[in-house]
Structure 1
Amino acid sequence: MLRRVLYIDLDKKESFVEDRGDLFEEWLGGTGVATQLLLEECPQGTDPLSPEAPIIFGIGPLTALFPAMTKTVATFKSPLNGELGESYAGGRLAMSMRFAGHEAIVIRGAADRPCYISIRDGEVKIKDARSIWGIPATVVGYILRDVEKGVGRRSIIRIGPGGEQLVKYAGVVVDTYRHFGRLGLGAVFGSKNLKAMVVSGTEDVEVPDPKRYREIYNQLYRTVVKTDAMEKYHDIGTPININVLNQLKGLPTRNFQDSSFEAAEKISGEVLADNYLFRRVSCAHCPIGCIHIGMLKTSFSRHHEYEIRKISYDFELIYALGSNLGVTSPEGILELIEACERQGIDAISTGVVLAWATEALERGLITTEDTLGLALKWDDVEGYLKAIDEIVKKKNEFYSALAEGVEVASEKYGGREFAMALGGNEVPGYHTGPASIVGLTVGVRHSHLDNAGYGIDQKAAKKSLSPEEMVDAIIQEDDARGVYNSLIGCLFARGVYSTENIIEALGSVGIERSVEDLEILGRKIFEEKYRFKVREGFDLKKARIPARFYETVSTVGMVDPETVETMMKIYRERRGWA
């Protein structure tokens, strides 16, 4: 069985395919293989926005074969924090890569003018994109779908003006409602003059043991659709966590100055579902429909004429552009989400950057001269909309600093103690306790999706856990997700794919692995990612933790800095890094 990697060189305008069965045999697929390709392709010390910095896309051995195995991983050197960039997206991209016959794609070099890549089975073309350069990410998809073939088995990914202008937390929009959001892949696209990539394919996928495959497929499908394992993701979706975390005092509010929001009910998932939900959509080969699309109706004439906009929303976006900015209306949050979508920038980072700027203005660290007259205030939707445009345009020195991320902005203007980033990545929507803080700090992406430390805190709120127990849980989840993200499945379905089910699913497609094999692989993948991080300058012992985490009550009460320091020490010892 060929395990094909497609290499595309934008400098030379050429491509070729290699069988890399060696990589897939050892590293399975997905993030395991993509990490190795990044280590191969990215020279040490490379500028993330230089032609020498590669982009890697990878899918897993179960992609397009099992329900909820829907994700594509991208690895790159992050322009936001200067080390490992790793991001995931759903939509149709994974399916399209599978049907095009490519389990990984490596993009090298940079084009001399705006371009986009068209991949259809084995045919690869680098096409002129000058006519769509500067066009919002939300519009580019509509243009390319009329130009490119492959309806039904096609994925269109693209950047907006934020990526073109090298905003360091710019993302890549995938099939309208999904994203490679975190750590700045959109800026890497922009640095290569790469506006978009279209992938489609017509190949079939064969399995070596159809009977065994059907049995495990049917078992997994029934678990997904006929049990409550994923029900909440279809109904209210992740925004159900707004009210839950608010009640637990874990919902970051006004730049983490509070952990509960007086207007949480107004912007809750329940209110959005009752009053704004337009439809639900699914990633390719997922029956759940967890992508919630809100409808925003706005008047543009006194003669009862309206514009209807369809905007996807989830918990993280409502936190970042809602409670964290003190925004009290669903309409305001949807407006801000759409602004980020249009510009193609990460909503989490944008919300954290704007929250820091609002507090910095309150404290006199910056002035309205810096903000070009904008008196940024909590719940000031119009002001925030204007600030988003100014950030992308890099209108002056201040907005250029904001485009670099909250770490750079706070180094320049002050306010480091309330610049909410860990590992150089703006933090997600949890202030639950020490496990969340440590988990975000030690995670390979500095993301809640690395090890779900917030969930460990919630368990600790019900039953006391020692620092050792919390660290062990973080490590176990870190390693387990290395395997799961090599398959690559949606993390919402991780409860469905137990170790036993993973082994059986892999066996049905001709890959035999034991429990011990997977445990060893998970540790190895984690270590390889850290090898890249350390090689590029990351030092866990020097990790900065904003003082604000220790000033605001969390789900488990006030967090003691000594507890976090103790857990970090235990973590390094457990990993053998002490």
Structure 2
Amino acid sequence: MLKNDSFANVLYIDLTEKRFWIERREDLFNENIGGSGVAISLLHEECPENCDPLSPENPIIFAVGPLTGLFPLASKTVAMFKSPHTNNLGESHCGGRSAIAIRMAGYGAIVIRGRSDFPVYIAIHGNKVYFRDASALWGMRSSFTAGRIIREKEPGEGLRTIMRIGRAGEKQVSYACVTTETYRHFGRLGLGAVFGSKNLKAIIISGKRSLPVVDNKQYKRLYSDIYKVAVSTPAMKKYHDLGTPQNVLPLNELGGLPTRNLKETRFEKARELSGENFAENYLGRRIACAHCPVGCVHIAVLRDPYGDEPYFYKTSMISYDYEPIYALGFMLGLPDVPSFLKLMDKIEVLGLDVMSAGVILAWATEALERGIISIKETMGVEFKWGELDQYLKAIDLIVEQPNEFYQALARGVEYASSKYGGKDFALAFGKNEMPGYHTGPAAHLGYSIGARHSHLDNAGYSIDQKVLTKKSLSPREMAEALISEEQWRQILSSLVICFFAREVYKPEIVSESLKVAGFELGIDELKEIGKKIFYEKYKFKFREGFSFDSLRLPKRIFETPSPLGKLDEGYMRSVLEHVKEIIK
């Protein structure tokens, strides 16, 4: 890396002692690039073995990449921590302005330790850090209100990021999220609960720096080349026009759309909840993450009448993507866009991970339907497919946790089903709730073996799509394909490149762009670093008790046909054995 580049600075913050310091860690960045690579190394350094995820000992680590602020689509921040949801590796990626704010403040990574003895928010402005009393913000129902108050109080308008939690994080719901810039999130695996456990309401970061490059002419040429590819490729245009909801109709036609807790794979109201219908009738505007020319963030307008008053409406702007539409729309059988947006808005206000919330509500609906739970446990909430009002009540109760049942739902579907039964239809992989793809075996294997148990770890659904038109893969070939993709994605998430741009940032482009930032790494070296990062993540997972032998594959995925037919459990178990052999 370039000498004296502030990217090598790691900011350490101790909430217990209310102090901070900066260390230069050039060795850390030279060996691991940035992002996920640096974050997992810091997690090994900072997180004691077998620590309670909600204890002061669990660190919060943010890391960005060497291309952040230099090239388009290098716009994500990696957060790493021990997850209170899975009791294992917690990793979440977020767009918005978070990455560029950290970089412009003068850091490649931030480490937060300890626990404050009263509610605080942290204000990081360049090389100064302030611990602000957040007692007045604690207990506010809406994360949006807290963000608005901080915006009015702190400097750095237009350059800053504001990360904050809602009521769910304060109440330490294990899948509480952290919201940034209103419409972006560190969504999965419970970073919001870790914030809450530390009495940390929010973080604001701002700064102004010039970023060095090796050769200005080479930089300008390469920037222009990457920009042209980014704005002209069909995949990027797709993300701009319809966003990820363009997946709705193709998946519905294929029969890969999980519906009503995966009892079905097609939804009769799919067109109503399609990207096309959102764009034609509800789209208010598109926005982009910092330094991104695509603008894939789609915001819908919801006009909600005020009681019985004529001509009086509350107008809300609510972001939507495929995964929230899957989790709240198809999984719950909500019949129209306004119903989806109202439930989405409540979840956003309270600060929950929408994918986990939807899957948990779907499990509860089927559990009540089957008589596994009763109205006594639900406190009168009649979970029923398509019944918006009941789901709105349930979300409030999950956050407030007034009885054992809602305390269980606040810990996720794996825990709730272990307490009340219904594991066969509890859709979780590695304790993380299922993403929105029932496309074939690779999707579910990908959720199972991915370091984060996320669909974005290795995009198994893409392998399923290839199998539709090509020959099937042997168990060994499937294992190698999933692992190979995930290892390369460690490089992308260390840069930190948006995964939507993975076809723009081919290995040759990655190597060339890194040279501009002062990293001399060939393609083979990059691949080796990707492998190392992947194994470091699994080293942490094994240390914290993860085992392939205890991985649960929900029975429901074998009962409901996919586009590739019914899944073969024997085949999938064989793939897991090969994965285990490769990773051991």
Identify whether the pair has TM-score above 0.5, normalized to the shorter chain. yes
1:370 CA drift (Å): 0.6
Match of 1:25 in 2: 30
* Contact 2:14–2:112 (8 Å) recurs in 1: yes
In structure 2, distance between residues paired with 1:200 and 1:172: 18
1:34 paired with 2:39, answer yes
Asked if 2 retains the 8 angstrom alpha-carbon contact of 1:361 and 1:376, the reply is: yes
Question: Which residue number in structure 2 is paired with residue 492 of structure 1?
Answer: 500
Matched, 1:190 2:196: yes
Whether the 8 Å CA contact 2:214–2:515 is kept in 1: the answer is no
Structure 2 counterpart of 1:127, one-letter code: R
SS in structure 2 opposite 1:126? Answer: strand
Q: Matches of 1:63 and 1:175 in 2, distance apart? A: 18
Question: Would you say 1:426 and 2:433 are equivalent positions?
Answer: yes
Superposition deviation, residue 206 in structure 1: 1.7
Is 1:49–2:54 an aligned residue pair?
yes
Q: Classify the secondary structure of the residue corresponding to 2:272.
A: helix
Counterpart in 2 of 1:131? 136
Q: Secondary structure at the match of 1:224?
A: helix
For 1:507, the equivalent position in structure 2 comes to 515
* Counterparts of 1:61 and 1:465, CA distance in 2: 39
Alignment gaps of 5+ in structure 2:
none
**Matched-pair identity in %:** 52
Out of 223, 226, 234, the position equivalent to 2:229 is 223
Supply the distance in 2 between the matched residues of 1:334 and 1:184 (Cα, whole angstroms): 23
Displacement of 1:129 after TM fit? 0.2
Contact 1:223/1:229 (CA < 8 Å) preserved in 2? no
Indicate the residue corresponding to 1:542 in structure 2: 550
Distance 1:572 1:192 in 2: 36
**Residue correspondence of structure 1 range 392-471 to structure 2 within 5 A:** 392-467=399-474, 468-471=476-479
Q: For the Cα contact (< 8 Å) 1:229–1:496, is it kept in 2?
A: no
> What's the secondary structure of 1:22's corresponding residue?
helix
State how far apart, in whole Å, the 1-side matches of 2:310 and 2:329 are. 31
Residue in structure 2 matching 1:78, options 83, 86, 101: 83
Structure 2 residue matching 1:266: 3-state secondary structure:
coil
* Aligned counterparts of 2:208 and 2:483: Cα–Cα separation in 1: 41
The CA deviation at 1:472 is 2.0
1:351 partner letter: G
After superposition, what is the alpha-carbon deviation per residue over 1:313-359, rounded to whole angstroms, capped at 9, x for unaligned?
00000000000011111111111111110000000000000000000
* Residue aligning to 2:311: 304
Q: Which residue number in structure 2 is paired with residue 331 of structure 1?
A: 338
Contact 2:438–2:562 at 8 Å: present in 1 too?
Answer: yes
The answer to whether the 8 A contact 1:458-1:555 is kept is no
Q: Which residue identity lines up with residue 152 of structure 1 in the other structure?
A: G
User: 1: CA distance between counterparts of 2:473 and 2:500?
Assistant: 27
Following superposition, the deviation at residue 304 of structure 1 comes to: 1.2
What letter is aligned with 2:568?
A: D
Q: CA deviation at 1:515?
A: 1.1
Residue number in structure 1 paired with 2:244:
238
* Rounded Cα–Cα distance in structure 2 between residues aligned with 1:15 and 1:295: 42
Q: Which amino acid aligns with 2:191?
A: L
| Shift in Å, 1:572 | 2.1
**Distance between the aligned counterparts of 1:71 and 1:439, measured in 2?**
22
Which whole-Å CA distance do the structure 2 matches of 1:290 and 1:466 have between them?
33
- Alignment of 1:161 with 2:190, yes or no, is no
**In structure 2, what is the Cα distance between the partners aligned to 1:495 and 1:176?**
28
Distance 1:259 1:455 in 2: 18
Q: Distance in 2 between matches of 1:466 and 1:289?
A: 36
Amino acid in structure 2 at the alignment position of 1:223: V
**SS of aligned partner of 1:124:** strand
Name the CA distance, whole Å, in 2 between partners of 1:244 and 1:229: 15
SS of 1:43 mapped into structure 2: coil
1:316 paired with 2:323, answer yes
RMSD across aligned positions (CA): 0.8
Counterpart Cα distance in 1 of 2:335 and 2:29: 48
1:281 is aligned to 287
Report the equivalent of 2:182.
Answer: 176
State the one-letter code of the partner of 1:161.
R
- Amino acid across the alignment from 2:384: K
* Structure 2 counterpart SS, 1:280: strand
Deviation, 1:178, is 0.3
1:62 corresponds to: 67
Q: CA deviation at 1:294?
A: 0.3
Task: Pick the aligned partner of 1:572 from 559, 562, 580.
Answer: 580
Task: Give unmatched runs, 5+ long, in structure 1.
Answer: none
The separation in 1 between residues aligned to 2:275 and 2:380, in whole angstroms, is 34
- Secondary structure in 1 aligned to 2:381? coil
- What per-residue deviation string (whole Å, max 9, x for no partner) do you get for residues 148-202 of structure 1? 0001110001000000000000000011100000000000000000000000001
Q: CA deviation at 1:573?
A: 2.6
Deviation at 1:568, TM superposition (A): 1.0
CA distance in 1, matches of 2:35, 2:462: 25
Q: Is 286-295 or 296-305 further displaced after alignment?
A: 296-305
**Correspondent of 1:483 among 474, 481, 491:** 491
| 1:415 maps to amino acid | G
Query: Which residue pairs with 1:106 in the alignment?
Result: 111
SS of equivalent residue, structure 2 residue 377: coil
Whether 2:301 is the aligned partner of 1:295: answer: yes
Q: Equivalents in 2 of 1:321, 1:110: separation in Å?
A: 34
| Whole-angstrom CA distance in 2 between matches of 1:207 and 1:514 | 18
Distance in 2 of aligned mates of 1:296 and 1:182:
25
| Inter-partner Cα distance in structure 1 for 2:353 and 2:103 | 27
State the TM-score, normalized to the length of structure 2: 0.98
Q: 1:358 aligns with which of 352, 355, 365?
A: 365
For 2:216, the equivalent position in structure 1 comes to: 210
CA distance in 2 between partners of 1:349 and 1:258 (Å): 19
How many pairs were matched up? Answer: 576
Alignment equivalent of 1:369, drawn from 376, 389, 393: 376
Q: Which segment is superposed worse, 177-186 or 467-476? A: 467-476
Check if 1:559 corresponds to 2:564: no
Structure 2: distance between partners of 1:294 and 1:320: 17
Which residue type is aligned with residue 444 of structure 1?
A: A
Counterpart code for 1:544: R
Deviates more, 1:200-209 or 1:278-287: 200-209
Is the contact between residue 62 and residue 488 of structure 1 (CA under 8 Å) also seen in structure 2? yes
Cα displacement (A) at 1:248: 1.0
Match of 1:378 among 381, 385, 395: 385
